[in-house]
Amino acid sequence: MFAQPAFDDRPRQLGGDPDWWRGGVIYQIYPRSFLDVSGDGVGDLAGIAAKLDYVASLNVDAIWISPFFLSPMKDFGYDVADYKAVDPLFGKIEDFDALLEGAHRRGLRVMLDLVLSHTSDKHPWFQESRFDRTNAKADWYVWADPKPDGGPPTNWLSIFGGPAWEWDSRRRQYYMHNFLASQPDLNFHNPEVQEAMLDVARFWLERGVDGFRLDTANMYFHDPDLRDNPPLEPGMSVNGIPDENPYSFQQPVYNINRPENLVFMERLRDLMNAYPATATVGEVGAVTDMYEAVAEYTQGSKRLHMAYSFDFLNRKYSAGHVRRVIERMEAKGGDAWSSWAFSNHDNERVVSRWGLGGRAERAGPFLIALLASLRGTPCLYQGEELALTEAVVPYEKLQDPYGIRFWPEFKGRDGCRTPMPWTDAPHGGFTAAEPWLPVPADHVSHCVDRQDHDTDSPLNRVRAFLGWRRGQPALLKGSIAFHDAPETVAAFTREADGARLYCAFNLGAEAVAFTPQPGPLTPDEGAGFGGALHGDVLRLSPLDAFFARY
């Protein structure tokens, strides 16, 4: 059994490297599905606090907690009704304070998921704004008159389907929503809105959080002239949008991705700079050039610390794709710092998405090692360390409005949001009640408790690798340079302060043997993978890795 680390019970302040976020491992927790302590079938803050020893045992550096703010839950917390209140579903503000203190005591930083681009339509700001056209918050949201024929003001589309405009009979105007009609977009052209959102960030920074994951970070501003989006040109695609969604037919250049957005990021960075060792990671999606966007949003020390990319959240899977993505980011990104992920709460779990479900136990640790060896900050999603596959949720049990809208071609996000399996008890030990989403039987068989007792389990292999990685400066902040290798192999060197680490990953279904360049190499077996040198020849089994110094 993996030995749980001993922790000092005395509260302490996190110190150390203010640039911890460069290469630090972030672990995403989806609170609805982590652990239910209250017994209502939905995870809560007390559940997260109860499992902090487990999270710390993974050798990660920070947790990112998806929204737990007051919300009607039409989009499961991404529709906020009060940014400074904890929804009773998740507990109380005191529960958050206890979680924060417990995380810090274990050396874990805490990042909150801030949804600043829009609110719930139940937010008091929107309720006042929609009352009439002259109230104090009349201009806090994006309102526009209809076209002469009564139609929407522009051709802009909602990511969740249909027009990005909803008619309001009281104001006799349309309001804009990039997502659900119950998620009206804030008008960031109004200085009072900007100040209100900076105040939200300040509230949580004062409470002691270590940073923010910024949802839809490139969607805060719209074109005030309300120009129509042009159609997508041949050969172009919209990053992060499935083909089944008509949103992918347009270039989203006027409803989002506006230059004013970057100016607000500079204001936010100024605020963050007043709180040392805090960091931001922005979700930058629905762009036609991801590399240029990440570079813009993380330029120097003026804007976001790092940006969340969608390049590995699609169905492409090959060594060549890995190399192309990283080399393009290096070429176009300048001093940009990326945050990479293979799975999250919005996308099919990676071992299923990349067709590796039949070899999940081998693929899971391998993919985490690959992710955490690339230049950038890796984000792991809860359950990824268990090598969980995508759950199959029957239509009658779907909760996600996105999936319900586009079923069956696109099944939505519920399959990656099913509860964490902790034990082989009913519902995986997640809850004593009926869980909000079903827990698959094959997830229960891969529960934490079972894997904890198996030294060769995906869980313990991930723990071992991330523990080894912490002592590798080249993997934390070093440069990256790719080497030619067989077609199925991603091979590269990470280098920092003269220390060079050669890394090779066989993403193929067949074993390979080749003479690596450069050399000669001195293998480092501490990472726990089986690739081996035989003379000058490196032999790699499928889904195996090799690390060496030279």
Which secondary-structure segment (H or E) carries 308? Answer: strand 306-308
DSSP 169: T
Give every CB contact of residue 151 below 8 A, 6+ residues apart in sequence. Answer: none
Q: Exposed/middle/buried for 288, CB within 10 Å: 0-12, 13-18, 19+?
A: middle
DSSP 32: G
Give every CB contact of residue 273 below 8 A, 6+ residues apart in sequence. Answer: none
> Residue 266, Cβ neighbours under 10 Å: how many?
12
Q: List Cα–Cα distances, 252 to 130, 155, 218, 297, in angstroms.
A: 26, 11, 11, 17
> Is 121 one of the catalytic residues?
no
Residue 399 structure tokens:
């909760």
Residue 212 structure tokens:
């923010």
Q: List Cα–Cα distances, 524 to 25, 345, 490, 501, in angstroms.
A: 21, 34, 18, 9
Contact between 214 and 208 under an 8 Å Cβ cutoff? The reply is no
Choice among 166, 223, 283, 385 that is catalytic: 283
Residue 77 structure tokens:
């917390």
Residue (of 341, 317, 214) closest to 269 by Cα position:
214
Residue type at position 480: I
DSSP 430: S
Give every CB contact of residue 502 below 8 A, 6+ residues apart in sequence. Answer: 483, 491, 492, 493, 516, 518, 521, 546, 547, 548, 549, 550
Contact between 349 and 389 under an 8 Å Cβ cutoff? The reply is yes
Choice among 215, 346, 348, 400 that is catalytic: 215
Contact between 297 and 282 under an 8 Å Cβ cutoff? The reply is yes
Side-chain-side CA neighbours of 120 within 13 Å: the count stands at 19
Contact between 221 and 253 under an 8 Å Cβ cutoff? The reply is no
Gap between the Cα atoms of 232 and 238, Å rounded: 8
Residue 220 structure tokens:
């805060």
Residue written as tokens 């909602």?
Answer: 158
- Start-to-end CA distance of the chain, whole Å, equals 35
> Is 215 one of the catalytic residues?
yes
Residue written as tokens 């399959």?
Answer: 415
Q: Which residues are catalytic?
A: 215, 283
